[in-house]
Amino acid sequence: MALSPVNIYDVPMEKYAYSLIGELDTTGLSPCVAVIVIFSDHTIMMEHRSDIELYKYGSEAEVLDLLEDIAKKVEYPVIARANLIRWCNVFIVNISRMYQQTAFCMETINYAKDVRKPVIAIYAESNFQPYGALGAISSSAIQSIVLTNDGVSENIIAQLSNAISSQENKKNTGKNVTDPEKIKTDNNSVNLIYNDKPCTVLICTTDEGLPVAKLIYNEFSAKNLNALVENLSDANATCSVRQCTVFIPILSAGFEKQPACRIAFEEARLLQIPIIPVMSAIDWKPQDWLGITVAGATYFRIYTQVSAYKPLYDSNRITDLRVAVEIACQPRPSQAEREQTEMKILKEKIEECKSKLQTWPPQRKVRTINSTTDRQPVRVAIAEPNATLAFNHIHHTITRMDIKAPAPILNEYGIPKRVQLDCMISYQWGNQIFVRTVYEDMLMREVRAWFDIWGSMQGNTNDAMATGVECAKVMLVFLSKSYVESTNCQLEFRYAIKRGKAFVIIRTQPNIQMEQWMTEAIQGFPQYNAFSYDDLERPINGVPTIDAIVQAIRTLAQAQPTETIDDCSAELFELRSLLDDARDALYNDAGQTRYKTCTRCNQQFDEFTKGGCKKHRAYYMGGTILEGRWVCCRQQAKDSPGCEPCDHTDAVRVYTQNPDYGTWTWEPA
């Protein structure tokens, strides 16, 4: 296959580089086979060398000419980047820490996922496991390859060639590809004039979205938010994007077609101004450059005043938008700034260890990760539900106004907080009302669950979903035919397998046909039929089904070890690893065992472990007239998993009766 004479326009080299190979039809741009490869800046030189080996389809001179052409480019408009991704048949991602932390790289793979490009994942760092959206999307790759210190071997080239060839005969219709020369001509013809009007919130629109823009402006003005509406459809329109704190684009077909809107959008991105999109067009999806800019993003659907203020559970869309804007107005520290505090503390602790050790540096552990292998969950036997006395079902309807919702898994900036969750609720959107009712029951039973209505979905939805999977010990899946057919649900399910999560399955429909990989993943885990909420009230051997489900979740969750996510820079990872090795050395020098076994949950912990265990916050009662249970969480077993987060303990615990009340507790709890 010959290297394509593709016109590559304005490729950035500061953060990433693109390489393209393909074989074009004689009819024009539609490629039979096309591959797009993205490399983050710290791997460019190594990968350029491997590119020459990889692209054996053309001559070495052709490859060198292509790379030289790329190296000369300095700018790359978003419209051309989106065009290239739509053009390609296969998306190859070179996974590294730098790629994970580069915003433009992440939006690109999110867009590749949105337009459903087959992904080939190349793992470039042996001690790095991707997380968030990158981890989730790469877990569904058609091919996963690990680079070794030896570089790109003939075997790796063969694997890539076979994976690419497997896409060769697939039809590639509806790509909506634009001639790169036209993109370049159109880009050079745009000249947006910037003004110096100060504003906190800039609402940018065209004629099509103007009614929605004015609606938002009126709401913000009433709440004393300094907002400005600019209609870039107007002749001689100017833009205040360089003066604003938050940028709100009103998305519509007209907005996407207006070059001035694209330039304003790109300027906001260049200045790293928070962007909160509002969708103003019903049943419309971006077809061009807007697709990559909002790929995976949370945006607000506001079409009319009715839709803006229509109650959405205990809120409405316009209120949620205003809250998101108020949060975005706050200063957001960079990752480097966020890491500085931890790095300073780590260095002090390392120096303290160094002063106590006889030799330095300590023996280093190998931290190689097999990124192509799925992590395995801990499987435990779930006792058959059984109650010999009265154990009635009680349901409580709650809102955020009545009971404090569980802590979100993302902070106000959309950054993972890494909270420990008992489970994540995975479902298809059509089941939301049923799922929310079950969620209320789980909260009343003190289950720490993530549910995407109250689970902090700001920022990137793929990141939020992946973080929920990473933080959860168990996946509670509401299985339906729509779930099995949903691309997003499959992505979520596949990432849970990758991360080694335990499963509890609620089948909401009969006769659900699943693919073999899904069937194998849930084999041996608890499964229940609940075609309506009434089914959850029905007893299994005297135990309401919802209580049987919750007890299964707790039992599985307690058995799963806490997973560490290295969502940090290479420098911070090295400091964490060095301190861990130094502590190992201190214990070895003292002839002591570093890790102990918790007498409450049987997990391993050391003196530096914070949290990770659970105790009962109330007491155990019943067993004579009513079925015995912990009043805090309705667990039946006296030694059942707790419901309130706490630290581990190795103290001997005694089951103790309070003679005044006839209740029981563990001492210490």
**Model confidence over 601-630: pLDDT tens digits?**
999 999 999 999 999 999 999 888 899 999
What percent of the chain is predicted at pLDDT more than 90? 60
Pair (180, 195) in one structural domain = no
Domain ends where: 158, 184, 210?
184
- C-beta separation of 231 from 206 below 8 A: yes
Pair (245, 324) in one structural domain = yes
Q: Is the pLDDT of residue 70 over 70?
A: no
- Please check whether residue 403 lies inside any domain of the structure: no
Q: Which two tokens stand for residue 450?
A: 């993530």
- Averaged pLDDT score across all residues of the chain: 84
- Please check whether residue 43 lies inside any domain of the structure: yes
pLDDT band, residue 78 (cuts 50/70/90) = confident
Pair (44, 168) in one structural domain = yes
Please tell me the predicted confidence (pLDDT) of residue 168: 66
Please tell me the predicted confidence (pLDDT) of residue 76: 52
- Please check whether residue 564 lies inside any domain of the structure: no
Name the H helices within 401-544.
432-444, 461-471, 481-485, 487-498, 516-522, 533-537
pLDDT band, residue 171 (cuts 50/70/90) = low
Mean pLDDT on 399-417: 58
- C-beta separation of 302 from 321 below 8 A: yes
- C-beta separation of 474 from 423 below 8 A: yes
421-426/201-205 β-pairing? unpaired
Burial grade of 455 (CB within 10 A; 0-12, 13-18, 19 or more)? buried
Pair (217, 154) in one structural domain = no
Which residue in this structure is represented by tokens 């397998």? Answer: 497
- Please check whether residue 232 lies inside any domain of the structure: yes
DSSP string, 274-303: -B--EE-STT----STHHHHTTTB--EE--
Mean pLDDT on 357-363: 95
Please tell me the predicted confidence (pLDDT) of residue 151: 61
Residue scoring higher pLDDT (201 or 47): 201
Pair (204, 318) in one structural domain = yes
- C-beta separation of 475 from 502 below 8 A: yes
Name the H helices within 204-251.
210-222
Q: Which two tokens stand for residue 222?
A: 């009433």
pLDDT band, residue 474 (cuts 50/70/90) = very high
Separation of first and last alpha carbons in the chain: 69
Type of residue numbered 503: F
Pair (203, 175) in one structural domain = no
Residues with Cβ within 8 Å of 197's Cβ and at least 6 positions away in sequence, in order, are: 228, 240, 243
Q: Which two tokens stand for residue 519?
A: 């069937």
Give the range among 155-159, 176-180, 185-189, 660-664 with minimum mean pLDDT. 185-189
- Please check whether residue 177 lies inside any domain of the structure: yes
Name the H helices within 528-624.
533-537, 545-559, 570-590
Residues 136, 141, 564, 649: is their CA dihedral positive or negative? positive
Q: Which two tokens stand for residue 606?
A: 């050391």
Q: Is the pLDDT of residue 139 over 90?
A: yes
Q: Is the pLDDT of residue 518 over 50?
A: yes
CATH of the domain at 450: 3.40.50.10140
Pair (175, 210) in one structural domain = no
- Please check whether residue 354 lies inside any domain of the structure: no
- C-beta separation of 268 from 293 below 8 A: no
Residues with Cβ within 8 Å of 15's Cβ and at least 6 positions away in sequence, in order, are: 40, 41, 102, 104, 105
Which residue in this structure is represented by tokens 């120096």? Answer: 351
Q: Is the pLDDT of residue 101 over 80?
A: yes
**Calpha distance 218→284 (Å, rounded):** 25
Number of domains within the chain: 4
Domain ends where: 328, 343, 362?
328
Pair (480, 625) in one structural domain = no
Q: 248 pairs with which residues across the strands?
A: 203
Nearest to 99 by CA among 112, 91, 88, 108: 108
Residue scoring higher pLDDT (313 or 38): 313
Q: Is the pLDDT of residue 228 over 80?
A: yes
For 273-332, write each residue's pLDDT tens digit: 999 999 999 989 999 999 998 898 888 999 999 999 998 767 889 998 998 899 899 888
Give the range among 7-16, 70-79, 413-422 with minimum mean pLDDT. 7-16
- Please check whether residue 581 lies inside any domain of the structure: no
Q: Is the pLDDT of residue 65 over 90?
A: no
Pair (240, 288) in one structural domain = yes
For residue 87, what are the domain limits? Answer: 16-184
CATH of the domain at 178: 3.40.50.450
Q: 38 pairs with which residues across the strands?
A: 18, 93
Maximum mean pLDDT: which of 69-73, 176-180, 187-191, 380-384 = 380-384
Pair (158, 82) in one structural domain = yes
pLDDT band, residue 188 (cuts 50/70/90) = low
Please tell me the predicted confidence (pLDDT) of residue 612: 93
Q: Which two tokens stand for residue 419?
A: 């909270």
Please tell me the predicted confidence (pLDDT) of residue 535: 96
pLDDT band, residue 410 (cuts 50/70/90) = low
Burial grade of 218 (CB within 10 A; 0-12, 13-18, 19 or more)? middle
Mean pLDDT on 653-662: 94
Maximum mean pLDDT: which of 2-6, 25-29, 287-291 = 287-291
Pair (213, 174) in one structural domain = no
Cis preceding linkage at 211, omega within 30: no
Nearest to 442 by CA among 614, 636, 633: 633
Maximum mean pLDDT: which of 255-269, 402-416, 442-456, 468-482 = 468-482
pLDDT band, residue 180 (cuts 50/70/90) = low
Mean pLDDT on 143-170: 77
Pair (42, 106) in one structural domain = yes
**Calpha distance 178→261 (Å, rounded):** 19
pLDDT band, residue 267 (cuts 50/70/90) = very high
pTM confidence score: 0.86
Q: Is the pLDDT of residue 170 over 70?
A: no
Residue scoring higher pLDDT (415 or 595): 595
- Please check whether residue 348 lies inside any domain of the structure: no
Domain ends where: 279, 309, 328?
328
Q: Is the pLDDT of residue 37 over 90?
A: no
**Calpha distance 95→412 (Å, rounded):** 27
Q: Which helix (H) or strand (E) holds 257?
A: helix 253-257
Please tell me the predicted confidence (pLDDT) of residue 457: 59
